[in-house]
A and B are shown apart, each in its own frame.
Chain A
Amino acid sequence: MRAYAGLFRRELLLAVRQGGEIGLVLGFFVLAVVLFPLGVGPEAEVLRRIGAGIVWVAALLAAVLSLDRLFAADYADGTLDLLALSAMPLEGVAAAKCAAHWATTGLPLTLISPCLAALVDLEAQATVLLALGLLIGTPALSLLGAIVAALTLGARRPGILSSLLVLPLYLPVLIFGAGAVEAGIAGTGARPHLLLLGAVTVAALPLAPVAAAAALRQALD
C-alpha cells in the first residue's frame, strides 16, 4: 500500500513541478468553453440551454489532451519497465496513476466548473448538478483514458490516435453528465442520470486498471 501511495505522490509532484501541467489543462478547459459564446452568440437564453453540454464537451477534450501525461514519459525513459519489474502488480500501478491523473485533471476541472457555469449563465441548482456530475464522472474519464493511453504507447501520432480511440468510449459519461444538468433545469429529476453516471465510474473502477495493465504488458513486451 505504501508503494502505491509513493507512486501516487510521485505523480502528483511531477504534475505540479513540471511547468504547471495543471494550469495548462485548466487553461485549455476555460478557453474551450469561452469559444462557444463567441461562436454561437452571447444570448443568455441559448447559452443556458446548451451550457452544460459545452462544459462537459470541454471537460472531455481537456481529459483527452492530458492523456499522454499518464504513461508516455515513463515509457520513453524506461521508468515503466522498472515499475513493471517491481513487486507492484501493473494493475496497481495503473490504478495509482489513474488516481493521480484524476487529482490533477478531473478534480481541478470540477473545482473550476462553477466559474464556467457562471460564464454560460447557469442557475445555482444547475451549477451544483454540473459540479456534482463532473465529480462523479471525471474519474471514469481518467480510467478509460488510461487504457487508451497505454494502448497507443509507441504508436505513430499517438495524440490524434488516442483521441479517435477514446472519445467514443467517453460518450456515456457525456450523455449522463450533461443529461443530469438538463433534467435538473427541466425539473424531471437529475437523480437517475447521476446514478447511471456513478454506475459507469464504479464499473470502470475495477475493470479499467485490469485492461490498462493488459495494454501496458503488450506495450512492454
Chain B
Amino acid sequence: MFAYLANPARFMRVSGRAWRFVAASGIAALAIGLYLALAVAPPDYQQGESVRIMFVHVPSAILAEGVYYLIALASFVALVWRHPLADVAAQAAAPIGAAFTLVCLATGSLWGKPMWGAWWVWDARLTSVLVLFFLYLGYIALVNAFEDPARGARAGAVLALVGVIDLPIIKFSVNWWNTLHQPASILRMGGPTIDRSMLVPLLVMTLAFVLLFAALLLLRMRATLNERKARALRLAAPPRRADPVSTGAAPVLR
C-alpha cells in the first residue's frame, strides 16, 4: 500500500474520498463514546463522577505517545527509503500530536485537583507527558526553522529518531525519580484493573480519537501537497501581470 501511495497524485485522489469517510466515522464514534462516557458509565466508587475525565484523558494520552512513535516511524521511512509522503506525514502529524498532549495535560490537571488537591502533581506519568510536549514543540520548531523546507524535513526526521530512542530512557528516569520522591499513597490513575463498564466507553473514545487523528492527518497532508504543487507551478510559470486574455497568450491546456 505504501508503494502504491508513493505517487502524490494518486494519494490525492484516494485521500480526497477517504478523509471524509474517516472523519464521518470518527464523529459517529465520538458521539457514541461521549454518550457512553457521560451518561452510561457508572461513577467510580472512589472517585465519583470525576472519573468521567478519564474518558478524554486516557485516549489523548494514548494518542499523544502513539503519534510521536508514528512520527518517528514516518521519519525512518523518509530517511531510509525516501518515500515522498513520509516526511509530509511526519510534519502533518506533529501539531495534532501536540494538541493531544496538551489535552492530556489539561485534563490530567483538572482530574488531579479534586483527586490530589493540587492542579499539578509531579506524578511520573504527568511529568513524562510534559516532557513529551516539549519534544513535540522542539520538533515543530526545528522543522520550521529553515529557509529551505526540505532541510527542515530532514533535520526533523533525525531529531524524531533521536527523540524516540531517548523517550523510553526519559520515561524510565522520570519513573525512577518519582519512586524516590513520592510518597507511595498516591492514587494511581486508571490502573490495570478496570471494570468492563468503564473499559467499553474508554475503547470507543480511543477509537474515535484515532479516527479523528487519521482524518486530520489526511487533511493536513493534502494541504501540504497542494501548497507544494502550487509553489512549484508558481516557480515554473510566474503568473502574468495582466489577465491572460489581454496578453494575447492562449492558456496552454495540459
Contacts and interface: CB of A to CB of B under 8 A. Distances in A.
Establish whether A and B are touching in the complex (CB under 8 Å): yes
B208 to A, nearest CB: 30
Contacts of A200: 169
Interface in A200-220: 200, 203, 207, 211, 214-215, 218-219
Q: Is the interface of A mostly helix, strand, loop or mixed?
A: helix
B166 interface: yes
B176 interface: yes
Interface in B166-189: 166, 169-170, 172-174, 176-177, 180
A203 B166 CA distance: 11
Interface residues of A, number: 33
Contact of B173 (A152, A165, A171, A221): A171
A65 interface: no
B186 to A, nearest CB: 19
B155 A161 contact: no
A155 interface: yes
Contact of B142 (A152, A176, A214): A152
B154 A164 contact: no
A99 interface: no
Contact of B158 (A144, A155, A207, A214): A214
Given A154-B151, A221-B154, A211 B161 contact: yes
Contacts of A211: 158, 161-162
A169 B169 CA distance: 9
Given A147-B158, A158-B145, A211-B161, 5 more contacts: A157-B145, A171-B170, A172-B169, A175-B173, A203-B169
Interface of B: 79, 131, 134-135, 137-138, 141-142, 145-146, 151, 154-155, 158-159, 161-163, 165-166, 169-170, 172-174, 176-177, 180
